[in-house]
Amino acid sequence: MRIDIITIFPDMFSAVLDESIVKRGQQKGRVKIFVHDLRRYSLDKHHKVDDRPFGGGSGMLLQAEPIFRAVEAVKKKIKGMARVILLCPQGKSFNQAYAKKLSKCGNLIFICGHYEGVDERVRQYLADEEISIGDYVLTGGELPAMVLVDSIVRLIPGVLGDKNSLNFESFEGNLLEYPQYSRPAKFRKWPVPDVLVSGAHNKISAWRKSEALKRTRQRRPDLLKK
């Protein structure tokens, strides 16, 4: 997989791309990630990429031209089709199923919105879809892009050491994950549930399913409706 990120703050990404699972995915050759400075695609001598909105109003908008130029330049470097995604509050809500869908794409291009947003023509004629990571407003699309990269890369086959671990995570089967414990078997006055140290795998499996249902019912009953 190849992921390209278009942003006016490229330096923000090193902390995420150069650490942990995302770094491992790149080292294994499972994913290539490139960050592009939008200002490099501006025709303005001062590399300006924003302007005031027509009709008045507060704030500044990212202009269409540099974004179109950036995406078009990136597409020339890509083999095959690329899915262009605009990260903004008006987009479709992101979830685990969405992450799985995107992890199967060959090429993704993320456009990080900023300021008061982007020129509407980016939505109409350039982006294939818009994604939001929640019903709240952030300064820009950089943090959402990092969230998508992290959630997608770990789903690419061969990135995680234990491929079976993906089958037992929260939101698999629309359930939250069951409680988990590690050594020691008793910490202070709190012991691990007896069933987990019993060695009876059928009972452990049943307990985990029961606890996952209980936790989901208590914390996210909306998931059970699915």
Coil, strand or helix: which one is 185?
coil
DSSP β-bridge partners for residue 183: none
- Confidence band (pLDDT; 50, 70, 90) for 112? very high
CA distances from 191 to 39, 196, 204, 212 (A): 57, 11, 16, 19
Where in the chain are the domains? 2-153, 170-224
Chain centroid, CA 135 distance in Å = 15
Question: 170-224: what CATH class?
Answer: mainly alpha
From 120-129, 147-156, 170-179, 206-215, the region with the lowest mean pLDDT:
170-179
The predicted model gives 12-39 an average pLDDT of 95
Which top CATH class is 2-153?
Answer: alpha beta
Cβ atoms within 10 Å of 164's Cβ, excluding its own: 7
Q: Give the Å distances, CA to CA, from 150 to 71, 94, 99, 226.
A: 22, 13, 10, 25
Asked if pLDDT for residue 110 goes beyond 70, the answer is: yes
Partners of 111 in beta bridges: 6, 86
Report DSSP letters for 76-118, one per residue: HT-SS--EEEEEEEEEEEP-HHHHHHHHT-SEEEEEE-BTT-B
User: What are the percentages of helix, strand and coil residues in the chain, rounded to 5?
Assistant: 40, 20, 40
Q: Whose structure tokens read 């942003």?
A: 7
Sort 199 into a burial class: Cβ within 10 Å, 0-12 / 13-18 / 19+: exposed
Query: Can you tell me the mean pLDDT for 86-110?
Result: 95
Q: Structure pTM?
A: 0.83
CA–CA distance, 193 with 185 (Å, rounded to integer):
9
> Which pLDDT score, from 0 to 100, does residue 71 have?
98
Residue with tokens 């995107």: 102
Sequence-separated (6 or more) residues with CB below 8 Å from residue 105? 1, 83
CA atoms of 120 and 72, how far apart (whole Å): 17
Question: Given this chain, do its domains 2-153 and 170-224 carry the same CATH topology?
Answer: no
- Tens digits of residue pLDDT in 177-226: 899 999 999 999 999 999 999 999 999 999 999 999 999 999 999 888 87
pLDDT at 118 over 70: yes
